[in-house]
Amino acid sequence: QLQLQESGPGLVKPSETLSLTCTVSGGSISSRDNYWGWVRQPPGEGLECIASIYYTGTTYYNPSLKSRVTLSVDTSKNQVSLSLSSVTAADTAVYYCVLSHGSGSYFDFWGQGTLVTVSS
C-alpha cells in the first residue's frame, strides 16, 4: 500500500526557509507516470497547489510562489522535498504531500499533512 509521510519542523521564524520532506513507502518515487506535489491549506481555509514534479524530473511551480519555492527528488531515499524561502505568517498552513498516480489528472494519494506555523 502506497503511503506518503511528511516531516519537518512545525515552527519556522519569519524570513527563514521552510523545509519539508515527503517519504514514500510502498512504491518507487521514480515510477513511470507519477506526478508528485505539495498542496497547502491555511487553518480554516481552502486548498492551494504549491509545486509538483513529474517522474521525468519536469517541475511546475505555482506562479504566486515560484520565486520562493524549490522542489527536489532524492530517488535513493524515495523522498520529495519542498523548500519555501522568506516565509511570513501567511505561509502558516498544513502542508500535504500528494501524488497523481499513473496518467490521471488528479491527486489520488495524500499524506496525512503537517502543520507549519510561521512565528517568531
Partner 1 sequence: DIQMTQSPDSLSASVGDRVTITCRASQSISRYLNWYQQKPGKAPKLLIYAASSLQSGVPSRFSGSGSGTGFTLSISSLQPEDFATYYCQQSTSTPWTFGQGTTVEIK
**Separation between Cα atoms, residue 14 and residue 79, nearest integer Å:** 26
Which of 8, 42, 49, 68 touches partner 1 (CB under 8 A)?
49
53 binds partner 1 (CB under 8 A): no
Q: Residues 60 to 99: which contact partner 1 by CB under 8 A?
A: 60, 62-64, 96
113 binds partner 1 (CB under 8 A): yes
40 binds partner 1 (CB under 8 A): no
59 binds partner 1 (CB under 8 A): no
111 binds partner 1 (CB under 8 A): yes
Which of 5, 27, 48, 85 touches partner 1 (CB under 8 A)?
48
25 binds partner 1 (CB under 8 A): no
Q: Which residues contact 63 (CB under 8 A, 6 or more apart)?
A: none
Q: How far is the CB of 70 from partner 1 (least distance, A)?
A: 16
102 binds partner 1 (CB under 8 A): no
**Separation between Cα atoms, residue 50 and residue 56, nearest integer Å:** 19
Q: Which residue ranges make up the site for partner 1 (CB under 8 A)?
A: 46-49, 60, 62-64, 96, 104-108, 110-113
